[in-house]
Amino acid sequence: MAVFVMVIDDSLVMRKIVETCLHRAGYEVKSFPDGVEALCWLNTKEVRIPDLVVVDLGLPRLDGYQVIQLIKARPALERTRLVILSRRDGVLDRIKGRLVGAHAYLTKPFKIDQLVAVVRTALEEQVPSPGAASRQEEQEMVSSEDTAHAHAPAAVFPLANMRDK
């Protein structure tokens, strides 16, 4: 079964670009125009737990940070990886993203190979079991930084970079 990625972005054009890029890279993709619709779908019978969620920060109704917090709060989604895709490029946005639980941060505009590299890197990281999460969080973030730099151009800024600044 293909890896399942959920995309949440209010821009139809951006959703289609991300869907197409990820589909061509071999991922199964489902997208939503806002976090409320995505969260409602996660409560339906036809739900498939996503392996990774790509979230825009500037969403209507619930912003991307709130969506990430609500996803992280659900035990069924504890192993789901989270990637922020946003026009916001500030240090505070990246720090806040890391604090709410995002595994990577990619700014718009992006190159297709950057998006695919960030998704692959986030999916390659081993997600710890709930009891081991606190012990391995620091190691995961360092691992994320190392692998993202190995696979993507310098314009991709993993959240681990923010720890040292």
Kindly state the average pLDDT of the residues 4-25.
Answer: 96
- Which domain covers residue 84, as residue numbers? 4-164
Angle 134-72-99 (CA atoms, 0-180°, nearest 5)?
60
Give the contacts of 43 (CB within 8 A, at least 6 positions apart). none
Kindly state the average pLDDT of the residues 6-28.
Answer: 96
Per residue, the 3-state secondary structure of the chain, as one string, reads CCCEEEEECCCHHHHHHHHHHHHHCCCEEEEECCHHHHHHHCCCCCCCCCCEEEECCCCCCCCHHHHHHHHHCCHHHCCCEEEEEECCCCHHHHHHHHHHCCCEEEECCCCHHHHHHHHHHHHHCCCCCHHHHHHHHHHHHHHHHHHHHHHCCCCCCCHHHHHHC
| Per-residue pLDDT reduced to its tens digit, 84-110 | 999 998 899 999 999 999 999 999 999
With 50 as the cut, is the pLDDT of residue 80 above it?
yes
Looking up residue 28, the CATH number of its domain turns out to be 3.40.50.2300
Kindly report whether the global pTM for this prediction surpasses the value 0.85. Answer: no
The least confident of 46-50, 115-119, 124-128, 144-148 is: 144-148
With 70 as the cut, is the pLDDT of residue 143 above it?
no
| Per-residue pLDDT reduced to its tens digit, 24-40 | 999 999 999 999 999 99
| Per-residue pLDDT reduced to its tens digit, 110-127 | 999 999 999 999 998 755
With 50 as the cut, is the pLDDT of residue 136 above it?
no
Average pLDDT, the chain: 81
Kindly state the average pLDDT of the residues 67-76.
Answer: 93
Confidence of residue 165 (pLDDT cuts 50, 70, 90): very low
The tally of domains found in the chain comes to 1
